[in-house]
Amino acid sequence: MLKLKSIIWVLIAAFPLVFSSCKEDAKKTISTQQIEFTHEGNLNVYLNTSDSLKTNFNIEFAETDYETQTGLMYRKGMKNNQAMLFIFPDIATHSFYMKNTEFSLDIIYIKEDMTIASMQENAQPFNESGLSSMAPIKYVLEINGGLAEALGISIGDRISFSRN
């Protein structure tokens, strides 16, 4: 009986220590490293009715599963001459969201023939609502929010891109 009482007292004495260490663990913060833009290629946008160049971007590619799932998440922003080009292995209706994306984006959905099919302009940071391409597409170009309008990028315009 004495042995059982001793065990109970040890457990009672250890109880606050267990919970205080849990509280300390809860206060730890996770820090992430800033993800820098990587210039991997160039992209041109042309007027839909001619070969007139509207604008061009330095692009970073998103092709692997991890890259396409992460995109521009966890970044503070990018310069107006920078963009991310997603290249999908399939032609399908794709949907994007702004989870963990800290700045507004214009999401430009592009068909296999390199013409712009649709756009979601000024997608709001951290919004988890699905933003559908509304048509089968092969590529997505993400640029800073409001830039598509400022540069006159519109449905029917076409793109070309090259790798460094």
Q: 100-158, pLDDT tens digit by residue?
A: 999 999 999 999 999 999 999 999 999 999 999 999 999 999 999 999 999 999 999 99
pTM: 0.80
Residue 117 region by backbone torsions, left for phi larger than 0, else alpha for psi between -120 and 50, else beta = alpha
Q: Which CATH fold would you assign to the domain 41-163?
A: Jelly Rolls (2.60.120)
Q: 32-41, pLDDT tens digit by residue?
A: 667 889 999 9
* Beta bridge partner(s), residue 141: 85, 108
Q: Where are the domains of the chain?
A: 41-163
Residues in Cβ contact with 67 at an 8 Å cutoff, skipping those fewer than 6 apart: 61, 86
